[in-house]
Structure formats: structure tokens, C-alpha cells
Structure 1
Amino acid sequence: MTKDLYARHRSVLPDWLALYYEDPLEITHGEGRHVWDSAGNKYLDFFGGILTTMTAHALPEVTKAVSEQAGRIIHSSTLYLNRPMVELAERIAHVSGIPDARVFFTTSGTEANDTALLLATAHRRSNTILAMRNSYHGRSFGSVGITGNRGWSPTSLSPLQTLYVHGGVRTRGPYAHLDDRDFIDACVADLLDLLGHTRPPAALIAEPVQGVGGFTSPPDGLYAAFREVLHERGILWIADEVQTGWGRTGDHFWGWQAHGRSGPPDIVTFAKGIGNGMSVGGVIARAEIMNCLDANSISTFGGTQVTMAAGLANLNHLLEHDLQGNARRVGGLLIERLRAVAAQVPHVREVRGRGLMIAVELTRPGTDEAAPEAASAVLEEARAGGLLVGKGGGHSTSVLRIAPPMSLTVAEAEEGAAILERALRSI
């Protein structure tokens, strides 16, 4: 059955539409932190549909909210008043940390980042954007143009002039040998030098933790230091929280808060987990920025009643059950467990992350050379053992990405770590 579906997939879908595994997997249903395939095999899910299943598979509160709302009305567009959209926007504005916040809903993180770019360039009357090396911001024409990861940027054509800044990767690059304070100082000096050679940019867009890039991040405080430089020049700061938002990092509700001494970003984008699998993305900005457009706009499918109902139920569950705290506690245990394993596996260069956003970077033993074939082998072995993880990385897909639903239990973390340990030792 799966082979037949794979053949049909290949005959009607693009060649560039990536699939995991030599024998691709069809997931048919899930519950909690587990999913099942079409052959009836059960897996512990440590990737959550690329961080979209934030709380749990088939979370009763979300499925009930979606079902009840679908029984009333699913969609009417933003041309009509929409109570669930207003209610979720009020909740998000409140937790955003942005004063006088306005919220615009989209269907994805890509669309959210495109909207943020539209707002920033219109507000600043500039089409120059600062972005981080090794970054990923989506698959649209605009967001591809600011993506600093060659593996996910299929064209150099862009409506924007993009300049790439150092700092998103702590343990690679020309400043890797410096301590944290000197690393930040060197990145700020690089930013200042760059700004001296270009017309004033509209904004800097940055992921607090780079997702597709392999869960890399700078030392805490880098973006606060950048913010001071940007603010002096009127340049906006866009925090791409598509993967880091809603408490996944454990220490903070938003990833930017690790860099927050100079206040919140001007614009925050979000998506992925807020809908727990439903297509919800959005942009938060203070009113003067959000309202700067001088033409009409709508979102046909952003903010539908059924996706907003899912978002409200999911956010309520997340807050009421302190899943941020659970991500900190269980994620901390999982990171330490994996670091103990890594110390005995020559292929592992680094285990990094915070909360339930964890990466295992693989290289050829004794070198810093990426080992994508090893990552693929571990992915296959983990699946055979009943565990699903993701892949990523800057120069190649040699990083295992671990981001289970934030309700992960200690027992499930131990189970997953044991499976991953066997898979790592197999290479």
C-alpha cells in the first residue's frame, strides 16, 4: 500500500518535495506523543510535524473546539467580524510583550514573514533587509530571498536587497573561538561596519534559535546588543518566532526574551505550534507599524473561525498546564542524557539546545566536516527502533532535530533517548 502511494506521489507531486526515509512513511493517526503508520507500527514522535504539534496529538480540548466550531461555521473571511479571531488576537497581544500591539493572522510562517517584510519596508521606505547567515524564513519568493541557508534558497532573484550578518551560529565561523562577551562584541562590530557601507535598511529579521539551520543560536544578549545599534538608526527588529514561540525553549515564552534587556522586537512573527497542527500563522507589531499600509488588504484564509478556535483551545491548554515549565524540566533532562551518550559516540560534534528544542550535530570523527550520510543512517535506525526525529543544518543536513510535543513525559524522554542512543551507536 505504501509503495503504491509513493509511486502515485512521485507521479503527480514535484520532485523537490522532500520526503524522509528510503521507504517513505504514511502517518495515519496519533495520540499524545505517539503516531501510527499505515502498517500499524507505533512511533514516539520527537518531531511533531516539524514543531507544529505543540501540545499533543489529538488533544481533546483542540479536537472538541474544532468540531464544535465546524458545526457552526468554518470560514467567512476577514471581511466580516469574527469573534474567535478577535479573542485569540486579544490573548496573543497580551502575551506578546509589545505595547499597543496589533495582530494579523495568516495561514503559515512563510506568509507571516512576508507580511512582516511588507510592513517593515513600507514603514521604513527601504527594500534593504538584514538577515542572519544560516537562517530560514519560508518558501515564498520574498522569504526565500532573505533565507541564509543555501539548501533552502533555490534562487538568488529577490525583490529585496539582503545583507547577511554574523552571529546566528555560536560554534562555527570566524568568531567561534571567542568567549561569549567577545563573540557578541565582534558581531556588533561587524554589524556596525556593514551599516557603514549601505543605505539604511528597513529591518533585521532573525530567529532567536535557527530552526532549519540546526537549532543553532548566539549567546544570550546578542540581539539585545544588535537592537541598541538598530534602534539608534530607526531600523526595525523582526523576531521570527515560528519555531521558538509559545514556551518551547523552556526558559522563556518567546525566544527573543533571552535577548530582552532592550525591550521587545518591533515585529514578531509566529506559526507552527499555535494551532497544534492547524494552519495558523501571524504577525504582531505595535500599532504605528501595523497600520502603516495605505491600501486595503485582507486574508482569505488567515483567521478562519475553525483555526482560531483551535488556537484558543491550544493556547489555553498550554498556559493552564505550564507546558513551558515542562519543556524546561523534561528538556533539560533529555539534553543531559543525550550529552552523556554523545561523549561516547565519535560522530557527535555537539548536543545543543534549550527546552524541547534540541539538536545533535554529526560530523566525520575527528573533524568539523559535516556527515549527512551519518544523519540519514541515524534517522533510519531511529525509525526502525520506533522513534521519529528530524534533520537540518547549515552546510548540509547533518543535524538531528528533536522537538517533541511539549507535554512529553520523563518516561517518554528516557524511552526516546534510549532509542536514539542505539541508533547513534549503530553508526
Structure 2
Amino acid sequence: MKDLHTRHKAVLPDWLALYYGEPIELTHGEGRHVWDAQGRRYLDFFGGILTTMTAHALPEVTKAVAEQAGRIIHSSTLYLNRPMVELAERVAALSGIPDARVFFTTSGTEANDAALLLATAHRGSNQILAMRNSYHGRSFSAVGITGNRSWSPTSLSPLQTLYVHGGVRTRGPYAALSDAEFTEACVADLRDMLGQTRGVAALIAEPIQGVGGFTSPPDGLYAAFREVLEEHGALWIADEVQTGWGRTGDHFWGWQAHARSGPPDLLTFAKGIGNGMSIGGVVGRAEVMNCLDANSISTFGGSPVTMAAGLANLTYLLEHDLQGNARRVGGLLIERLRAICAQLPCVREVRGRGLMIGVELVRPGTDEAHPEAAAAVLEAAREGGLLIGKGGGHSTSVLRIAPPLTLTVAEAEEGAAILERALREV
């Protein structure tokens, strides 16, 4: 393993992050478990950054991939593609957006890139509103709208980005307000900002901020924002790369917690739909999706193999009510973690929805983020046989827990027990 790590450092850039003091190589997985090159088994509570949404080595998906690969692997969007059309039909129907069109990409970053292109072209403006503490990808344009310093390596951007309050409920200048007062203050901030712009193209927002530490506003905030945006003709882009496909349990899409004003104009997705295959995309109103006046294609977006995987995965997810399982098992897990962490002075908050849970760590007796503790808990959990993630706004002090949606009650209890030992040890 040390040899592979040495080779990794010799040919890959220093900024390519690796977990753990001694990084591990994952060689195979099954269900909610993975194994490393030394043969050690781990309960996977991070799923390749929320990507292995259903299960590792899900037979229905691996069979669909193998069968499609045996027919044709690649063609590009220059030719009719049956699996792509079939998946687009299902995504359009599930999106809640009337007369929807779908464009497939290979990642969430590229999906957000496409949404930004569509919104700015449709509105004839390069002004974008984004949320503080947000993360939208690693491309040049996506970095330019990311409100999280840890993941924004440059201030250069093709867009003019203005950052809005509201993505983090329990920190910032409005934290002490009630939910209704918080929403009112954020809406007032948005109105004030729009009054000083020259025609904003869109607001892009994650219903639950993923990399930012699984933070979210009160339900209904984005519906209130949407009403103000419509007064100015601006669009609403919901970044559902991490929240989509039922992970939050209560809803199939994160935007549905803010559904008073209807669906977003554009919705981006990726990660879980492919269960590990590279699928991203944007779905939106035909008027916006059809606005480009130049030709375009996607060489790898909508690949027959990835589309076959997405169809099989989506079918399994719906037929087995994995959204309901995320609600039931996730609800048990978050209450178990809250009970554990209530006794620990280093835990500021346990938050989340469904199987998307954040545990924020601070220096005891303060509100100061404690990234060293988060890193130590990550290591201790791995030693105990549990893989989790980390994130957060000003520093990576939030433990991120997002297992595959087939997680059982017994596995939730096992993972909670390992995490409790790790937290107490640290």
C-alpha cells in the first residue's frame, strides 16, 4: 500500500485530496460493505461521496452494464440512443417540471456547468446568485459560484457572483432568529441585493448543502426566494447532485421541501442515479433548455452503458421504495446519533434528513470549529471498521454520514456504535 501511495504522489497533483494518514485502496464491495487491499472489511457510510446510492455490486445494475457493454459501449449523442431516451423520459416525469427536457453529462460539475450556460444564455446576463457555504463542482465556472473557501482555489470567474444568506440555519447573523424571522430576514437580504443588480440570470442553490456540512435552511425558504426571483425574471436552479433520488427520505427531490412555488426552472443531478457510473444531467423547462442558438453534442454524456446502469438503478430504487427506507432507517439513525452526542461536549449539532446526516464538532465549551477532532474521528472510525466523510464551511469539522439507501436497521445500529466509540476515543 505504501508503494501505491508513493506512486500516487509521484504522478498525481498535490491538491488531489486523500483520506487518512495511511490512505487505503478499496478493491471490491457488496451491499453496504467494502474491502481494502489488505482484506479488511468496512461498513460504508459514505458511498463514494454519496454516489453508491443503492448498494455495492447491485446485481441488477452490474447485469445491465454487462449486457449493454456486450452490445455497444459508445456512440455519442450524434446518433439515436434508446437507453438515453428511456432514462430521459423517466427523469423528466419524475422531475415535476412540466414539458421538461433532459441533457445528460458525465458529472455533477458538468451538469451545473450546463445549467449555468442555459440560464445565462436564456437571460442574456452573467450575473448569478449563489448561497454562502455552497459547493457546486470543480470546473472554472462551478468554482466561480462556490461559496465555500475550502473548495474555491481562485477568485477568477466568467461570472459575476453575488452570495445570499440562508443556506446555514444555525450560524451567521440570523442564527438567533426563529424560522419565520430567519426566512423573512433572508428574503429581505435577497430583495435588497436584487435592487442593486442589472438583471440576474439565476439563483443556484443546494436544498441541503453537501460539502458545506449537510446544512439547510428552514423549509419554504427557497419557495419564498422563488417568488422574489420571479418578480425580476430570474431563474431558480436547484442543485440536486447530492439531495436527489429520495436520499432525504421525506421527499424524492430536495426542492420539494420548498414546493409552495412549484418546481425549479432547472434541476441538476448526478452521483446516486448511476450507483457509481458516471452520470450527471440537467432537466428543465423546454423554453429554457431549448434556448441555445448554436449546435452542441456530448461525446460521453448519455453513454449507452451508463444510461443502462441508470435505468436499472432507478427501477430498483423505485420498486423497493428506497426513499421510504431512507426515511425510516435514517430517522432511527439520526435519533440514535443525537442521543449519543448529547453527552459529548465536542459535538455542537447533529443535523440532517433521511440518510444525509452531519455531526458538527467544536472545541468543547465554544462554537469554534474543530477540524483536528473531525480528522481524528475519521481515523478512529476507520480503525473500527466504518468509513465516513467530512466537510463543513470555514473548516472541515463536520462528519458526513450518507450510506447506501438499502441500509438495514442492524447496520445503522452497528455504524452508530462504531462512531460512538470513535467519538469517545477522540
Q: What does residue 185 of structure 1 align with?
A: 184
1:409 pairs with 2:405: no
> Whole-Å Cα distance in 2 between the matches of residues 234 and 128 of structure 1?
13
Q: What does residue 358 of structure 2 align with?
A: 359
> Whole-Å Cα distance in 1 between the matches of residues 302 and 245 of structure 2?
18
1:200 deviates by: 1.4
Q: 1:102-151: per-residue Cα shift (whole Å, max 9, x none)?
A: 00000000000000000000000000000000000000000000000000
List runs of 5+ in structure 2 lacking aligned partners.
Answer: none
CA root-mean-square deviation: 0.3
Q: What does residue 79 of structure 1 align with?
A: 78
Report 1:61-76 matches (<5 A).
61-76=60-75
> Whole-Å Cα distance in 1 between the matches of residues 233 and 197 of structure 2?
15
Report 1:314-329 matches (<5 A).
314-329=313-328
Q: What does residue 36 of structure 1 align with?
A: 35
The amino acid that maps onto 1:371 is H
> Whole-Å Cα distance in 1 between the matches of residues 171 and 198 of structure 2?
29
1:10 deviates by: 0.2
> Whole-Å Cα distance in 2 between the matches of residues 176 and 60 of structure 1?
46
What SS class does the counterpart of residue 81 from structure 1 fall into?
coil
Q: What does residue 263 of structure 2 align with?
A: 264
The amino acid that maps onto 1:8 is R
> Whole-Å Cα distance in 2 between the matches of residues 230 and 382 of structure 1?
44
1:253 pairs with 2:252: yes
Aligned-pair identity (%):
85
> Whole-Å Cα distance in 1 between the matches of residues 365 and 146 of structure 2?
30
The amino acid that maps onto 2:141 is G
> Whole-Å Cα distance in 2 between the matches of residues 300 and 198 of structure 1?
37
Q: 1:8-28: per-residue Cα shift (whole Å, max 9, x none)?
A: 000000000000000001000
1:380 pairs with 2:383: no
Q: What does residue 337 of structure 2 align with?
A: 338
1:375 deviates by: 0.2
Report 1:4-403 matches (<5 A).
4-403=3-402
The amino acid that maps onto 1:354 is R
1:232 deviates by: 1.4
What SS class does the counterpart of residue 136 from structure 1 fall into?
coil
1:177 deviates by: 0.1
> Whole-Å Cα distance in 2 between the matches of residues 297 and 41 of structure 1?
46
1:284 deviates by: 0.2
Q: What does residue 425 of structure 1 align with?
A: 424
Aligned residues: 426
Q: 1:27-82: per-residue Cα shift (whole Å, max 9, x none)?
A: 00000000000000000000000000000000000000000000000110000000
TM-score by length of 1: 1.00
> Whole-Å Cα distance in 1 between the matches of residues 283 and 127 of structure 2?
21
The amino acid that maps onto 1:348 is V
1:196 deviates by: 1.1
> Whole-Å Cα distance in 2 between the matches of residues 89 and 196 of structure 1?
38
> Whole-Å Cα distance in 2 between the matches of residues 286 and 74 of structure 1?
30
> Whole-Å Cα distance in 2 between the matches of residues 211 and 350 of structure 1?
16
1:199 deviates by: 1.1
What SS class does the counterpart of residue 216 from structure 2 fall into?
coil
1:197 deviates by: 1.2
The amino acid that maps onto 1:271 is A
What SS class does the counterpart of residue 71 from structure 1 fall into?
helix
Q: 1:187-231: per-residue Cα shift (whole Å, max 9, x none)?
A: 000000111111110000000000000000000000000000001
What SS class does the counterpart of residue 50 from structure 1 fall into?
helix
> Whole-Å Cα distance in 1 between the matches of residues 175 and 400 of structure 2?
22
> Whole-Å Cα distance in 2 between the matches of residues 25 and 231 of structure 1?
48
